Amino acid sequence: MDPPAATKKIPTVRSKTGYLTCRRRKKKCDEAKLRCMNCEKNAVVCEGYPEKQIWRSGKERTEERMKPQSPTPLQPIFYGLETLEDSIFWKHYNEHLSTVLAVEGDHKNAFKNMMVPIAVKHHGLMHSILSLASKHIDFDTPYDINILRDNPGTTIEALRKRSIYHHDEARQKFCADYEEPTAEDNDVRISARYGQILCFLLEGQAEGNTFGEHRFGEHRIHLVAYQKLITTSTPCDPTFFSFISEYFEYYICADELIHSALVSDGTYTHPRTHQPRLLGAADGLMDCLSHTTAIRNVMRRNPLAPPDLVLYLQKAADIDMTIRNWVPHWPPGDCREPVGVTQEHQDAIRIAIKTLKEYTGMRNADQAMSVLEEVWRLMTVGEWLAVWDWPEVVRQMDIDFIPA
């Protein structure tokens, strides 16, 4: 019997079709829509068919590769610096404005060494810093004119638009931080809140504008906000607390010179700080100004009532004794120990204020000079009753600002 003939196995021709996933895994694909059941059964993500491509010759593909690609923009080194205008504001703040605002040397510049690290972590404070810097730029001065010369890629109009943007963003993020606190570190959020209020306050000083937004005492709203915040949320960093409290206390006392509503009864006490550096702001001297303002307020409320001389003389004696016993809390040999008296002549004072404005760029110096001119005019005509009441003089002039 002949042996059975061996059956020859016909090789299976593997299909070139199928989804990408099955072809890569060398598995049979049922090509079901929307995904292969083989992939579904094995819990594999099915990639589907490759994207259809139009056939191109080798020359066409080479030309396609040679075409210039659209440039990929660099991401900002940190939040806030997105445009040329932002960089101009940032440079102006770090190289000029922060130095003007600081009372220490550049190595202890709190506006750079303390505010900037917080701003890098807090978007609202970064917008506030850039907004403040933009408001400080005055294109009527040679220094600021050079900014446009050194940056031909921008214009005054572009700088103003970007200034408005940062101004609005700073306030929106400040309000949002109150309404919906973020997951940021609590100390960073509190410190940034103080920093933003300080920037809002300084914007009015930089602009020197008694009309519009800063017309009806907006700066006083910020001072009151500070007074409320300092009683509930104190910064953890003692150095930052000293810096913030001294600055705000200085402006509160300066505002009392021409306004009587912020500290009306003399009971508000200025917080003491460790090693205060601003003259009188947190070392007790400014308390005397608050007590004097409280006496003035009583006299303003009852101008026709007979004065209680015994009470007033007693309070005046206490204030006088405090002033005589006051000494600054500075290290021995501090170079700022000698403090000169106010210049006697009006021309010298005018020159001093003009020089101060040229150095700081703070345009509220114009309002301060106008008040002095009005007081001098009243002295010339013998209106001595009006001279002593500076808040009334300012009210009659229909302006409102901080003479600081």
pLDDT per residue as tens digits for the range 35-55: 677 777 776 777 766 666 777
Averaged pLDDT, 154-159: 90
The pLDDT value recorded for residue 199 is 92
Averaged pLDDT, 129-156: 86
Q: What mean pLDDT, rounded, does the chain reach?
A: 76
Encode pLDDT of 359-376 as tens digits.
777 777 887 888 888 887
Q: Which fold has domain 15-49?
A: CD2-Gal4 (4.10.240)
The pLDDT value recorded for residue 268 is 52
The pLDDT value recorded for residue 232 is 86
Question: Closest Cα partner for 118 from 134, 132, 129, 104?
Answer: 129
Averaged pLDDT, 192-201: 92
- Model-level pTM? 0.61
Write out the two tokens for 192.
């940034």
User: Residue ranges of the domains in the chain?
Assistant: 15-49, 84-273+285-327+347-397
The pLDDT value recorded for residue 76 is 65
The pLDDT value recorded for residue 138 is 83
Are the CB atoms for 129 and 117 separated by under 8 Å? Answer: no
Q: Is the pLDDT of residue 323 over 90?
A: no
The pLDDT value recorded for residue 168 is 92
Q: Which of 14-18, 325-329, 334-338 has the lowest mean pLDDT?
A: 334-338
Rounded to the nearest angstrom, the gap between the alpha carbon of residue 299 and the centroid of all alpha carbons in its chain is 39
More confident: 68 or 246: 246
Rounded percentage of the chain residues whose pLDDT exceeds 70 = 72
Q: Is the pLDDT of residue 166 over 50?
A: yes
Q: Is the pLDDT of residue 111 over 80?
A: yes
Encode pLDDT of 200-211 as tens digits.
998 888 887 654
More confident: 14 or 115: 115
